[in-house]
Each structure stands twice: as C-alpha cells, then as structure tokens.
Amino acid sequence: MSRTRRTLALVAVASAALLAGCSSGASSGSNSADVAAVAPPGGSGSGKALAGDSAKAPQATGANSSGANSTALPAANGRQIVRTASISIKAEKVGDAVTSIRRAATDVGGYSSDENSGGDHGTLTLKVPADKLESVLDKIGSFGTTTARSEHAEDVTDQMVDVTSRLATQRASVDRVRALMDKATSLSDITQLESELTKREADLESLEQRHDALTAQVAMSTVSVEVNRTDAPPPPPADQASFLSALGGGWQALLATLNGIGVGLGALLPFLLVIGIPAGGVYYYLRRRKARTVS
C-alpha cells in the first residue's frame, strides 16, 4: 500500500514538472515572436536607417504637420487653401487712404508688394497673412466707401501632397548617389556619378522652389486694392455724330490741307527766287539770240 502511494506521488511530481516546462517553452517562444515582430530586419544598422527614413517622411496635411510643410498655413479642416481678394473704395484724399491701407497690411505682418498712386487714383497689391484677410478687407473698407469687393479660394492640397512626396523621394535619391560617390574608386565612375548628382540636385532645387512658392501662397494672401477720389470729375461724354459736327470736321480738314499747301509753297519760294530768276534770264537771252540769227 505504501509502495503504491509513493508511485502515485512520483507520477504527480513528474507531471507537474512536465507542465511547467511546457509553459516556460511557450512563453519563451511567444516572447521571441514578439521581439522578431518589433525588431526591423537587417540588424541594428537597418533599424537606424529605417528610423532615419521615418524621421524624414513628410507630413502632407494636417494642422500638426512637421517638416518642410509646417510653414504652410492649413485651413481648419487640414486643407491647403490659397486665398486672394480684390477691393475698390472711394475716398476724399487718395494719398491718405493709400497710406492707411499700407499701414493696415504692415500692422498684421504683411507688406505692400506693388503700389502706384496719383491725385485721383491709386492701386496697391498687398500680401497679408491668410488668417488676417477678412479683418484687413474690413479695415480697408473703413477708409472710404466700398464700391466692389470679391474673394477667391483655391484648394492646392493635392499639389502640396504631390510636391512634398516627390521632394522626399528626390532627397533620398540624391543621398544614394552621394553614398555611391563615396564608394567609387575609378575616375570614370566618379565622373558619371558627378553628372548624375548634378542633374538630381537641380531637380531637387526645382522641387524645393515649387514647394516654397506653394507654401508662401497658402501662408500669405494677395489683396488687390483700387482707390478713387470721391469727388473726381466724371469722364467727358462722347460727342454724338451729326451733320454740323461732320461739316465742322470737313472744314477743319480743308483748312489743314490748305495750310499744308501753303507751307509747301513757302518752303519752295527761296529756291524759286535764287534759281528760278537767273534761269529765266538765261532762257530769255538764248531765245532772243536765236531769233536774231534766223532773221
């Protein structure tokens, strides 16, 4: 009886040890699988490269975008909008109104990119922050009487996404060529890589300029302003055609023609006096001499 109990006890202990070993192996396998899923392929160096590429990846849209696109001012819904506007006003003093309009732009961080003003008329092209456009238009309208006002919006989100993506790709392409140049040993390879690098850097610069232009258009709105004097005289009415007006025009044309003829004769008169009189005298003398010879 005691031998049977000892046998059952040994079997229970062995079973418990076997179950513990299986649980440990499963846990270890699970941990290994998790590590393999998290760790990037290619070892620690590849992990660093992937981390670097992720850091360079641009954020195309969104209010919290980072990188090159962070300077663009997104709309409330994350879209990239280019806003333009035009406004016309009438003011008693055009010069004072132009000065006030220019100051209204500079007060909000904008500037006047083009300006032309005279006594009765003035025009300005302003660049103002996009989020200040409405307030600037309202302030400009307060400097006189608004005669016309219009606004235009263009969604350039797709263009921004495309340029940003191509910009990241082109930067990676330039980096790859530079890495190949560092490893090149023959002169022909170096020359070929330098030519390719120059071309890719030119394409990269073009993309950067386009990206900067789009960013500037989104961040700064363009406002075209026209100022006219309130009491400026109206343009003279066009004359209606009539018999009397036609007769007067014909008479003026006749006088102009006669005057032209008189000017021409006046210009020829000195030549007639200097050349014509001696020539007439010679002709008269020769004719009389011929008549005497015949008789």
Interval 34-70: pLDDT, tens: 333 333 333 333 333 333 333 333 333 333 333 333 3
Report yes or no on 103 lying in a domain. yes
Report yes or no on 49 lying in a domain. no
> Do 104 and 145 lie in a common domain?
yes
> Do 11 and 71 lie in a common domain?
no
Domain termination site, one of 205, 232, 259: 232
Domain of 28? 1-38
Report yes or no on 56 lying in a domain. no
Domain termination site, one of 232, 249, 276: 232
> Do 25 and 124 lie in a common domain?
no
> Do 8 and 97 lie in a common domain?
no
**159, 135 in Cβ contact below 8 A?**
no
Confidence check: pLDDT of 139 > 90? yes
Q: What are phi and psi of 81, to 5 degrees?
A: -120, 130
Report yes or no on 280 lying in a domain. no
> Do 16 and 162 lie in a common domain?
no
Report yes or no on 276 lying in a domain. no
pLDDT tens digits along 74-116: 444 678 999 999 999 999 888 899 999 999 999 999 999 888 8
Report yes or no on 292 lying in a domain. no
**Which of the two residues, 21 and 157, has the higher pLDDT score?**
157
Query: With left for phi above 0 and alpha for psi between -120 and 50, is residue 126 left, alpha or beta?
Result: beta
> Do 72 and 132 lie in a common domain?
yes
Report yes or no on 46 lying in a domain. no
> Do 34 and 142 lie in a common domain?
no
> Do 73 and 203 lie in a common domain?
yes
pLDDT at res. 235 = 55
Question: What is the domain count for the chain?
Answer: 2
The arithmetic mean of pLDDT across residues 254-268, rounded, is: 82
Domain termination site, one of 232, 256, 282: 232
> Do 24 and 102 lie in a common domain?
no
pLDDT at res. 240 = 63
> Do 82 and 186 lie in a common domain?
yes
- Maximum distance among all alpha carbons in the chain? 196
| Banded pLDDT at 19 (limits 50, 70, 90) | very low
> Do 89 and 177 lie in a common domain?
yes
pLDDT at res. 224 = 94
Report yes or no on 295 lying in a domain. no
pLDDT tens digits along 144-169: 999 999 999 999 999 999 999 999 99
> Do 32 and 86 lie in a common domain?
no
